[in-house]
Amino acid sequence: MSVRAFKFFVVEGTKSFFKNGLMSVASVVTVSMCLILCGLYVIFSMNLNYAAKQVETNYEIQLFIEEGTSDTRIADIGKELNGIDNVNTVVFVSKDQAFNQWKEGFKDNLAILEGLEDDNPLRDSFKITLHDLKQTESTMSQVNNIQGVAYVKNNKDSIDKLVDLTGKIKNASFYFMVFFALISVFIISNTIRITVFARRREVNIMKFVGATDWFIRWPFVIEGILVGLIGAVISVLIVSQSYGYFLGTTGVLINSTIQLYEVAAVISPLVISLAGMGIIIGALGSAMSLRRHLYV
Amino acid sequence: MIFFNNVTKRYDNGTVALDDVSFFIDKGEFVFIVGSSGAGKSTITKLILCEEQPTGGTVLINGINLKDLKHREMPFYRRQIGIVFQDFRLLPNKSVYDNIAFAMQVRNATTKEIRRAIPNVLSMVGLSHKAKVRPGQLSGGEQQRVALARAMVNNPPVLIADEPTGNLDPATAFDIMQLLEDINKRGTTVLTVTHARDIVDKMKKRVIEIDNGTIIRDGVGGYANECKSF
């Protein structure tokens, strides 16, 4: 396509967008509605991934050391733990540190701990986090084989369920997105079809003066892209504002160990995905709606 | 130039619009196709414009067999034919200038070429002063002149006028026919489909009369007069 032709198509498509005032507004509203729902799903899946990641990185396994183990052996255990591939972080918690943390927990009722300070019943321990929770079982068998480890505290069953559930939600939301994108293209191509039907006479004239299919199609496609882009801008504004409002009002209800993305962090993915979807939906919708009128 | 060889056109509902029709129109001729409504004359236009395909026989335009024409080749073929319709078919949102320019833009003409060609063609149809006006602000006769200017701006070898005076008063209709004759004198083959008896009588050109899908007369003369047969 020559630069001259491209300029002509852009000018024609833009002019036509403004000339078809009401129909353009109707198309933009339809695209915005679809993109708002898509945007909500983008934020939902982003936060779901983020939450799952946090659960995985914050998940700790605690290994308690046998009573009477020497400091040298404890240091070796730390080295052995660091040597296991799937182990991410290793933190040593001495029995004194554990007792102090315990005290912190009971600070309003310290009488319960009276007498225990001289005879600390707690053990030295290591807290480890893993790279990949799916490999918990094999990592656990390696950890259990380390000499000097008395026992291991591990919520593996509940973690398995969580990993399984987030996987299922991710899959379901992906299929829902694909389904929803298809529905959007269908709705939008029908809305644009009404615009094209109103201008079928114009298309017919173009055919008789010798315009090629693409010469006719391009201004419509550019108009569709414009509809998609304006719809994307509107939906990004609405979705990001609503998300900000949601964070402001419900932030306190969410468990403090799970963080949600800040509004600023979701803007770029929202703009990229919704503008991309808007452009594709608008362009595809226009091109598809025109097809029938081009065979004259 | 235009050759219909044993052409038959049967529509899906069974109507036979043309039945074994043959005629030849040479380069530079001016020919009227006449006949009553439903006689089949519009089908001839549709076949030339490739809007319809013949059921039997061959249509050759400028040596091109229209049956062999692929969909993607159609626009390039149509650029060789100027077309004027009864209802003018101008783009209502574009000015007179832009309507004519559009026919040049489709074949990727440069702005310079467009600026050079349009004043010439507008002066030919006598509308140089109306270049910036929209079609809705023009009379029927003026709109048909714009349509003629658009049809001629690319200098096509053939001009098809399908009932060009159907929506016009007699005086304006005659002006349009004069314009068609001028265009023909410059070397363009003109094929006019009409049922305007008075105009055909006055012009004394070759007339092909169709009735019930067959040619009942082909010769020079008026609509109702005895004519010299080919």
B31 DSSP β-pair partners: B191, B206
Quick check: B193 and B41 in contact, CB under 8 A? yes
CA distance A237 to A255: 27
Of residues A8, A205, A296, nearest to B105 (C-beta): A8
Tokens of B110: 């440069």
Q: Are residues A166 and A25 in the same domain?
A: yes
For residue A209, list chain B residues with Cβ-Cβ distance below 8 A.
78-79, 83, 102-103, 106, 150
User: Which residue matches tokens 């019943």?
Assistant: A121
Containing structural domain, residue A216: 3-55+161-294
CB of A2 within 8 Å of a chain B CB? The answer is: yes
Q: Are residues A122 and A171 in the same domain?
A: no
Q: No. of H helices and E strands in chain B?
A: 7, 11
A87-93: strand order across its sheet: A87-93, A125-130, A60-65, A149-153
Q: Are residues A24 and A141 in the same domain?
A: no
Chain B nearest C-alpha distance from A210 (Å): 4
For β-strands A87-93 and A125-130, DSSP reports them as antiparallel
One-letter amino acid identity for B35?
Answer: G
Closest CA to B158 of B131, B176, B137, B180: B180
B5 DSSP β-pair partners: B58
CA distance B54 to B45: 12
Split chain A (296 residues) into runs of 10 and give each run's mean pLDDT. 81 83 84 87 84 76 87 90 89 87 76 73 87 82 86 75 78 78 73 74 85 87 90 94 85 64 88 90 81 66
CA distance A287 to B50: 23
Q: Is A128 helix (H, G, I), strand (E, B) or coil?
A: strand
Q: Is A252 helix (H, G, I), strand (E, B) or coil?
A: helix
Tokens of A243: 């998300």
Q: Which residues in chain A (18-47) have CB-CB distances under 8 A to chain B?
A: 19
Q: Which of A87, A122, A154 is the last residue of a domain?
A: A154
Tokens of B63: 């040596």
Q: Which of A24, A208, A216, A217 to mutate to test the interface with B (most CBs of B within 10 A)?
A: A208
Instruction: Indicate yes or no: CB of B103 within 8 angstroms of CB of A202.
Output: no
**Thinking of the domain B2-80+156-229, which architecture would CATH place it in?**
3-Layer(aba) Sandwich (3.40)
Tokens of B40: 């089949």
Residue of A nearest to B50 (CA): A296
Quick check: B161 and B193 in contact, CB under 8 A? yes
Q: Are residues A185 and A49 in the same domain?
A: yes
CA distance B173 to B34: 16
Q: Are residues A105 and A136 in the same domain?
A: yes
CB of A10 within 8 Å of a chain B CB? The answer is: no
Of residues B51, B83, B89, nearest to A296 (C-beta): B51
CB of B108 within 8 Å of a chain A CB? The answer is: yes
Instruction: Indicate yes or no: CB of A205 within 8 angstroms of CB of B90.
Output: yes
Helices (H), B57-169: 74-78, 96-105, 111-124, 140-152
B4 DSSP β-pair partners: B23, B59
Quick check: B184 and B30 in contact, CB under 8 A? yes
C-alpha to C-alpha distances, B120 to B90, B98, B150, B155, nearest whole angstrom: 19, 15, 12, 12
Q: Are residues A142 and A198 in the same domain?
A: no
CB of B123 within 8 Å of a chain A CB? The answer is: no
Measured at the CA of A295, the angle between CA A293 and CA B4, to 5 degrees, comes to 135
Q: Are residues A267 and A165 in the same domain?
A: yes
How many A/B residue pairs have CB atoms within 8 Å? 49
Per the structure, how many domains does chain A have? Answer: 2
User: Which residue matches tokens 């008395």?
Assistant: A150
User: Residue B134 gets which letter from DSSP?
Assistant: -
- The CATH number of the domain where A96 resides is what? 3.30.70.3040
CB of B107 within 8 Å of a chain A CB? The answer is: yes
Closest CA to A48 of A167, A204, A222: A167
CATH 3.40.50.300 intervals, chain B: 2-80+156-229
Q: Are residues A282 and A168 in the same domain?
A: yes
Residue of B nearest to A6 (CA): B108
Q: Which of A119, A154, A189 is the last residue of a domain?
A: A154
Q: Are residues A47 and A91 in the same domain?
A: no
Chain A nearest C-alpha distance from B134 (Å): 14
- Nearby residues of B209 by Cβ (< 8 Å), 6 or more positions away: B34, B35, B215, B216, B217, B218, B223
Q: Are residues A82 and A8 in the same domain?
A: no
Q: How far is CA A94 from the centre of its chain?
A: 39
CA distance B113 to B115: 6
Q: What is the pLDDT along chain B (230 residues), one digit of tens a residue?
A: 899 999 999 999 888 999 999 999 999 999 999 988 888 888 999 999 998 999 999 999 988 999 999 988 999 999 999 999 988 899 888 899 999 998 998 888 888 999 999 999 999 899 999 999 999 999 999 999 999 999 999 999 999 999 888 888 888 888 889 999 999 999 999 999 998 888 888 888 999 999 889 999 888 876 654 444 44
Residue of A nearest to B89 (CA): A205
- Full DSSP string of B71-89: GGGHHHHHTTEEEEETT--
Instruction: Indicate yes or no: CB of A210 within 8 angstroms of CB of B83.
Output: no
CB-based burial label for A57 (10 Å; 0-12, 13-18, 19+): middle
Q: Tell me, what's the pLDDT at B139? A: 92
Q: Are residues A40 and A75 in the same domain?
A: no
Q: Are residues A66 and A191 in the same domain?
A: no
Of residues A15, A201, A211, nearest to B75 (C-beta): A211
